[in-house]
Amino acid sequence: MRTANGQIHDNGRRVTEILAEMRVELVDFVETRARILRAELREKWKSVKGAIPLVIIAAVLLGTTFLLLTGALVGLVVAAFPQSLYRWFFACIIVAFFWGVLGLAAAYFAKRELEGTGLLPKRTLEVLKGDKVWIEAEVKNRI
């Protein structure tokens, strides 16, 4: 059972042959996982790609709506302070506070929604976890 460079191991194979075989298996392993990841990302991109123009249009229209609604709200609040020299200042502060509260609520709900779904490639991670369990079992069997 000599196992130093180029010498024969118990199973009749040289260490260099075993290492070469391990390298080939590792390359196949990495290529397979990369193909799985690319396929999954391609699927996700197809679903996202169609929505991008709609998101841009929605952002422009909602931005315009927001600006007009803000102007109307500020005008309404200004009417509540008819005698004050600072009525525009107070109106802007009140409306800004209102939008801030609504924005924080929206951010909170968006965060909760994204935590549930996640954007990570799930199938690829599951395959890698299975590979980890398999490798650990193989190592335990060999030792």
Q: What is the pLDDT of residues 76-133, one digit of tens each?
A: 999 988 898 999 999 999 999 999 999 999 989 888 877 766 667 777 778 878 888 8
- Where do the structural domains in the chain lie, given as residue ranges? 1-49, 50-142
| Confidence (pLDDT) at 91 | 92
Query: Helical H runs in 50-86?
Result: 52-79
pTM above 0.75, yes or no: no
Over residues 13-25, the pLDDT tens digits come to 777 777 788 888 8
Question: d(Cα 59, Cα 76) in Å, to the nearest integer?
Answer: 25
| Confidence (pLDDT) at 9 | 55
12: left (phi over 0), alpha (psi -120 to 50) or beta: left
More confident residue, 30 or 46: 30
Angle, nearest 10°, between helix axes 15-49 and 122-142? 160
What residue type is 52 in one-letter code? I
Cβ neighbours for 56, distance < 8 A, ≥ 6 positions apart: none
The H or E element spanning position 81 is none
| Confidence (pLDDT) at 1 | 47
